[in-house]
Amino acid sequence: MATPAGLLLASPPVISGVAAMAACAAMAVFYVAVLYAPTVILRFPPPTSLRTFLHRRFACAAVASAASVLATASLLRVWSLSDFADMFAVFGIRKDHLIQAVAIPLLLTSLVYAGSFVARVWLLVSSWGGGDEVEIGCAQRLAQWIQAAVADVMVWRNYVVAPFTEELVFRACMIPLLLCGGFKMSTIIFLSPIFFSLAHLNHFFELHQQGCNFMRALLIVGNLLCPIIAHVFCNMMGLPVFSSPRTKGAALVAFLAGSIAFFWLLFPATSPELYNSSFDRCSCWHGFCNWK
C-alpha cells in the first residue's frame, strides 16, 4: 500500500495500545503537575502579582510542551524521517493547505456562536448615535482595546499560550501516538477530549475550594492550526449565547440555525481530503495506518 510522500520510516513504529494510552495520560498529568513545580519543587517564593504568576506558568507550559514533543518523537522514531519537514508533518505542522486550515474550522465553529454574534451586533447597533463622531469614537476605542490587549497578560494566556501549548500536547502529540497504538479514528475522537479534561481538573478543584458549588465549578471548567484557531476563537467568545431579551428572539433563532448548520456541515468540513493532498488510502492523514 502506498504511503504519503516523505513519510517512510526505516522500520514501522512499534508501540502498543497500552503504551500509547500510558504516554498520553503521563503527558496530561505532567502538563498540569509542572505548573506547580516553581513553588512545590523549586521552592520559589509565591508570586507577588498575577503577571509574575502567569509568566511562571507560561514557562512551565513551554517545558511541558517541549517534553511531550520529545517523548512523542522518541516513541514514534521520528528521527528516522528524511528531513525536518517530514518530522513536523508527523505533528500536523505543515505549510500546505493553510487557507483551508484557518478558514474552514473557524467558519464551522462560528456557526455555534451565531446567537452570540446577533446579540453583540444588536447591542452595538443600538448604541450607535450616527455621524462622524461615532466613527472616530469607534476607531479610538478599537485602538485603545488593541493597546490594552497587547499589555494584558490574561490575553496572552487565553489567546496565545494556552491554545498553542494545549493543542500541541493534546492534539499534535497524542493523536499520532494513539494512531500508532492501533486505535481507530472514531475512538480517538472520544479519547482525546478525555485526556484534555484530565489536564483541567486542577481548575475544577481550585474553583471548588474557592467556594463554587460542584455544578457551577463543573460548568466553568468545561471549555496544528485547525484546532489552535478554533481554540483561540472559543476562548474569545466564551459560552454560546442561547437567547437574549434585547434581541426579541433573534439570538435564539440564530443559535438554533447555526447549531443545525454546524452539525450538518461537521463531517463534510472535517474531511481529511480538504487538508491533505497526500491522502492516499490513508485514514490517519499522516501515513501511520500504512506503516503497520
Q: What angle do CA 155, 160, 165 make, to 5 degrees?
A: 135
Residue of 166, 167, 231, 286 with catalytic role: 166
Asked about 231 being catalytic, the answer comes back as no
DSSP 273: G
CB of 173 closer than 8 Å to CB of 23? no
At CB < 8 A and 24+ separation, what contacts does 54-61 make? Answer: 54/153, 54/154, 54/156, 54/157, 55/153, 57/157, 57/161, 58/156, 58/157, 58/161, 60/34, 60/35, 61/31, 61/34, 61/35, 61/161, 61/162, 61/165
CB of 285 closer than 8 Å to CB of 89? no
CB of 167 closer than 8 Å to CB of 228? yes
Contacts of 128 (CB under 8 A, 6+ apart): 134
Residue of 133, 135, 167, 200 with catalytic role: 200
Burial 58-97 (b: 16+ CB within 10 A, else e): bebbebbbebbbebbbebbbbeebeeeebbbbbbbebeee
d(CA 209, CA 256): 36
CB of 140 closer than 8 Å to CB of 147? no
Asked about 167 being catalytic, the answer comes back as no
Residues involved in catalysis: 166, 200
